[in-house]
A and B are shown apart, each in its own frame.
Chain A
Amino acid sequence: MISVQLILLIIFGLAAIWFGWRVFMTSSMVRSAFSLLGSMVAIGILFLVMEAEFLGVLQIMMMGTEMSIMAIFMMMFMMDPGGLGNMDMSHQKNISIVAGIVVTAFVAGVAFTTDWGIFADQVQEPHEQNRLLGMEILKRSMMIFETAGVTILTGMIASIAVAISIKNDAKK
């Protein structure tokens, strides 16, 4: 059963993989970050194709900011950010190839052998999905989300506190 949806899924899935591969095949940090952004946007489009509108828009929005911030940090902390020194981002090639094949085989095995149950033949309207998602987050999953949120906030504050240099040298 080949539909437009399936064709789009395949195209954007391949695009996500291709961009993901480009991340490691370039020597410029900014190109690498934007390749990852391309991969993430392709995944966001996959959500949109699968009619999960909120998730798709959220993924595309978050990744735009996050990958740009990653780009500036990679610029700041890498020794060769512009890629002028022909740096190679891939390393431990043999182990990587073996790990890649094993993981791919495992994931494919899981995908094909799992009993996925009955597929939904129709999806609810986007606004109804939004409402249900809100209900889920504020009822059953509230504890999980609140815990995760507070943990992340604590982590952010802690990392900033650790990163600030102590400026009491003048007093000594």
Chain B
Amino acid sequence: MTPLLNGLMITLLFLSGVYLVAVLERWSLTGHVIWGGPIRSFLLLFAREEIKTRKHDKVFFETAPILFIGVILLTISILPFGRDSVIINLGTGALFINAALVYVMVALMMIGWATNGVYAMVGGWRALAQLIAYSMPVVMVLTATVMRAESMFLIDIVESQQSLWNILFQPVGFILFYISALAITFLPPFDLPVAKGELAGGVWADLTGARKLLFRLGRLTLVLTLSVAVVVLYLGGWMGPWLPEFVWTFLKTLVVAASFFAIGRFMPRIRHDHLLEFNWKYGVPLALYNIFQVGVVLLL
């Protein structure tokens, strides 16, 4: 297959992936699968009048949506969909995932501050609290996957799982990364920054029109990105029989994304102090144990 055709296929798959994630999100909220739903809400938000809050912070108000979607696109660009299908093959790929996704929180905090509203501001600070909870475990479990591959190239991390996928090799790390991925995407059990019902939409409470559209689209892309990250780091990436490589990545990604939404549908929202307590009292020690276990197994 020529590189151009390959690139086109990946773009198409990714776009349809975002669409399917949008359908899944709607299902997780309403319990119905509505195929036309995403298009309808896209047109609605696109055409809607943009109402700005009084005395909003102009610079942050314009920067935050672009920063939000920009860092997510940067993260996608380093994730491999196949052995040769990666846009930028970074020598520090595993670290870069975390570095870029920190700025998701920065964008949320920025927009929370910029809108000059109470709900938005509380939502923004909650995004920070959530990051403080998950950032340590997520770096430590990434380190454990790097230890096994002896490389920070994401392609090497996938190839290190040739004999045994990381989900079986380091199950503790997988569980911690999975929970952290849910928290990074602020999906339902961890949707503190945008909590419906208690914060009336949180950081998005005062946004309308195109800005809200950018954030919604960004979040859907973020869900897909984190699903790809779970697949690459723990589920053997593109590995699988018969089908082409990127098809396997795509199928696994959709299964992970569906599981994200399924958990969100059946779990109550967690309180931020409980989240912090869990991650610092149990998450960090478990992540350290995971590094220890992986290290011992590798040396034996």
B213 proximity list for chain A (CB < 8 A): none
Using CB atoms and an 8 Å cutoff, list the residues of chain B in contact with chain A. 57, 59-60, 90-92, 95-96, 98-99, 102-103, 105-106, 109-110, 113, 125, 128, 131-132, 135, 151-153
Are the CB atoms of A64 and B106 closer together than 8 Å? Answer: yes
A36 CA to B94 CA in the complex, in Å? 26
Minimum Cβ distance to chain B for residue A18 (Å):
14
Instruction: Give the distance in Å from the alpha carbon of A130 to the alpha carbon of B59 in the complex.
Output: 37
In the complex the two chains form, is A126's CB within 8 Å of B90's CB?
Answer: yes
7 A-B interface contacts by CB (under 8 A): A28-B57, A31-B60, A53-B91, A57-B95, A61-B98, A64-B106, A130-B152
**Chain A residues with CB under 8 A of B96:** 57
Given contacts A53-B90, A127-B151, contact A31 B105 (CB under 8 A): no
CB of B128 within 8 A of CB of A68, answer yes
Q: Give the chain B neighbours of A71 by CB distance below 8 A.
A: 109
Q: Which residues of B contact A34 (CB under 8 A)?
A: 60, 106, 110
Which secondary structure dominates chain A's binding surface? helix
Instruction: Please give, as numbers and ranges, the residues of chain B lying within 8 Å of A121 by CB-CB distance.
Output: none
Residue A103 lies at the interface, judged by CB distance under 8 Å to chain B: no
B103, A64: Cβ atoms closer than 8 Å? yes
> 1/0 per position for A50-69, CB-CB distance to B under 8 A?
00011001101100110011
Q: Tell me the bound Cα distance from A163 to B128 in angstroms.
A: 21
* Contact status B113-A30, CB under 8 Å: yes
The closest CB in chain B to the CB of A58 belongs to B95
B91 engages A61 (CB within 8 Å): no
A127 touches B106 (CB 8 A): no
Q: Residues of B contacting A37 with CB < 8 Å? A: 106
Q: Chain A residues near B102: list those with CB within 8 A.
A: 61, 64-65
Which B residues are CB-close (under 8 A) to A31?
57, 59-60
Interface pairs A-B: 9 shortest CB-CB: A126-B91, A61-B99, A64-B102, A127-B91, A30-B113, A57-B92, A57-B99, A60-B99, A54-B92
- Known pairs A54-B95, A60-B99, A72-B125. 8 more at Cβ < 8 A? A28-B57, A37-B106, A57-B99, A64-B99, A65-B132, A65-B135, A69-B128, A126-B91
Interface residues of A in 65-93 (CB under 8 A from B): 65, 68-69, 71-72
Contacts of B95 in A (CB 8 A): 54, 57-58, 61
Asked if A125 CB lies within 8 Å of chain B CBs, one says yes
Residues of A within 8 A of B113 (CB): 30
Inter-chain CB contacts under 8 Å: number: 58
Q: Take A34-B60, A57-B96 as given contacts and tell me if A130 and B105 are in contact as well, using a CB distance cutoff of 8 Å.
A: no
User: How many angstroms between the C-alpha atoms of A130 and B96 in the bound complex?
Assistant: 13
Please, which residues of chain B bring their CB within 8 A of the CB of A30?
113
Q: How far is the CA of A37 from the CA of B64 in the complex (A)?
A: 14
Nearest A residue to B108, CB-CB: A68
CB-nearest residue of chain B relative to A28?
Answer: B57
* Known A-B contacts A126-B92, A127-B152; A68 and B105 likewise in contact (beta carbons under 8 Å): yes
Chain B residues with Cβ under 8 A from A68's Cβ?
105-106, 109, 128, 131
Contacts of B109 in A (CB 8 A): 68, 71
Cβ of B117 to closest chain A Cβ, rounded Å: 13
CB distance from A53 to the nearest CB of B (A): 5
Measured between beta carbons, the chain A residues less than 8 angstroms from B125 are: 72
Within 8 Å CB of A54, what residues of B? 91-92, 95
**Contact indicator per residue, chain A 113-154, by CB within 8 Å of chain B (1) or not (0):** 000000000000111011000000000000000000000000
Residues of A within 8 A of B106 (CB): 34, 37, 64, 68
Report A-chain residues with C-beta under 8 Å of the C-beta of B151: 127
Closest Cβ of chain A to B240, distance in Å, is: 27
Measured between beta carbons, the chain B residues less than 8 angstroms from A53 are 90-92
- Expressed in whole angstroms, the Cα–Cα distance for A53 and B105 within the complex equals 23
Alpha-carbon separation in the docked complex, A38 to B102 (Å) = 14
| Min C-beta distance of A45 to chain B, whole Å | 12
Q: How far apart are the CA atoms of A61 and B74 in the complex, in Å?
A: 14
B92 engages A130 (CB within 8 Å): yes
